[in-house]
């Protein structure tokens, strides 16, 4: 579905941006994959009359102190109620203090460089700036529902982020993490 021409400013009222982390290590059986909500973000989408979204742009800005644990995941499915409030508070504190350092790197941003139409989807190429490092990122967006839906993987160490680990490294988060989004254009 082609996107309707216009300029869109999206935020948490427009849908979700989420991070997915995955456990690894000797003690990974006692840990959880996590679904983490980004609660403070702005997405700017420009769809020109001439050329449509393929000649437009997509930008994203995330406040890195706005990541909140939604729930544990098991086999790719939400597993609410698994984590206690103290567990969630500890994870969020570790994300800030040991992983993202929002005092030094308050925002992460993405800016599209090219957009290619492919039926009901678009291939987006651009640059992601995170933790003081800017790298190219490519992903696909599904627009068949009239909004923007997609998911892509980043490698934390590419952005000089040390994946979280505990218990002398026997419990850790994989270097790969996914970023997903499901946003309504309105």
Which pLDDT tens digit goes with each residue over 117-147? 988 799 999 999 999 999 999 999 999 888 9
Q: Give how far Cα 59 sits from Cα of 42, 74, 129, Å.
A: 8, 31, 11
Identify any residues that bridge with 59 across adjacent strands, giving them in sequence order: 44, 111
pLDDT of residue 28 exceeding 90, the answer is no
pLDDT for the residue numbered 2:
73
Arithmetic mean of pLDDT over the chain:
91
So what's the architecture of 10-183 in CATH? Beta Barrel (2.40)
Who's near 147: CB < 8 A, 6+ residues apart?
Answer: 15, 182, 183, 184, 185
Instruction: Give 14 or 146, the one with higher predicted confidence.
Output: 14
- 64-108 pLDDT, tens per residue? 999 999 998 988 889 888 889 998 999 899 899 989 999 999 999
Q: Is residue 166 scored above 90 in pLDDT?
A: no
Residues 26/7, Cβ–Cβ less than 8 Å: no
Q: Which two tokens stand for residue 67?
A: 């990541």
Q: Where are the domains of the chain?
A: 10-183
């Amino acid at each position: 579905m082609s996107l309707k021409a216009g300029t869109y400013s999206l935020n948490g009222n427009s849908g979700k941006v989420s991070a997915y982390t995955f456990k690894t290590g000797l003690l990974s059986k006692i840990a959880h994959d996590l679904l983490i909500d980004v609660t403070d973000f702005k997405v700017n989408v420009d769809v020109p009359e001439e050329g449509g979204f393929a000649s437009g742009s997509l930008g994203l800005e995330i406040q890195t102190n706005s990541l909140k644990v939604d729930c544990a995941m098991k086999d790719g499915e939400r597993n609410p109620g698994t984590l206690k409030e103290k567990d969630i508070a500890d994870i969020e504190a570790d994300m800030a203090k040991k992983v993202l350092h929002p005092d030094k790197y308050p925002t992460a941003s993405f800016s599209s460089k090219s957009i290619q139409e492919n039926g009901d989807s678009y291939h987006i190429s651009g640059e992601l700036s995170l933790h003081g490092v800017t790298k190219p990122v490519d992903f696909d967006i599904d627009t068949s529902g009239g909004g923007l839906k997609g998911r892509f993987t980043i490698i934390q160490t590419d952005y000089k982020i040390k994946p979280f680990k505990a218990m002398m490294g026997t419990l850790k988060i994989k270097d790969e993490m996914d970023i997903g989004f499901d946003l309504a254009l309105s």
